[in-house]
Amino acid sequence: GGLPALFANIEYPNQAKANGIEGIVEVEFTVNELGMVENINIINGIGGGCDEEVVRALKKTRFSPAIQNGRFVKVKLSQRILFELKSLK
């Protein structure tokens, strides 16, 4: 799980490929006490289906929950995800 799984789950959207859309999607989200993602918020999107793809991939991804004082706790995270056409080749 975690970030490696998130990046493995992301697929470059066909609409973005067809229109040459590249850039960075910035997203904030919460990982709850069970390691599930909630409260997903796109901070800066690039369109072309990329924003929706980040949300879809995050909903599929599980993380290790944060631990504070021996208890699982919620943690708010932010992540930048690069969509770059040359990385497809």
Give the model confidence (pLDDT) of 39-82 as tens digits: 999 999 999 999 999 999 999 999 999 999 999 999 999 999 99
What does R_g of the chain's alpha carbons equal in angstroms? Answer: 14
The letter for the amino acid at 30 is T
Residue 87 clears pLDDT 90, i.e. is over it = no
Residue 61, pLDDT score: 95
- Indicate the pTM of the whole model: 0.91
> What pLDDT band is residue 88 in, cutting at 50, 70 and 90?
low
Task: Name the residue with tokens 């004082």.
Answer: 69
Contacts of 88 (CB under 8 A, 6+ apart): 12, 17
Residue 38 clears pLDDT 80, i.e. is over it = yes
Residue 1, pLDDT score: 81
Distance CA 52, CA 35 (A): 21
Half-sphere exposure of 49 (CA within 13 A, CB side): 11
Give the model confidence (pLDDT) of 14-30 as tens digits: 999 999 999 999 999 99
Residue 35, pLDDT score: 95
| 21 CA to centre of own chain | 17
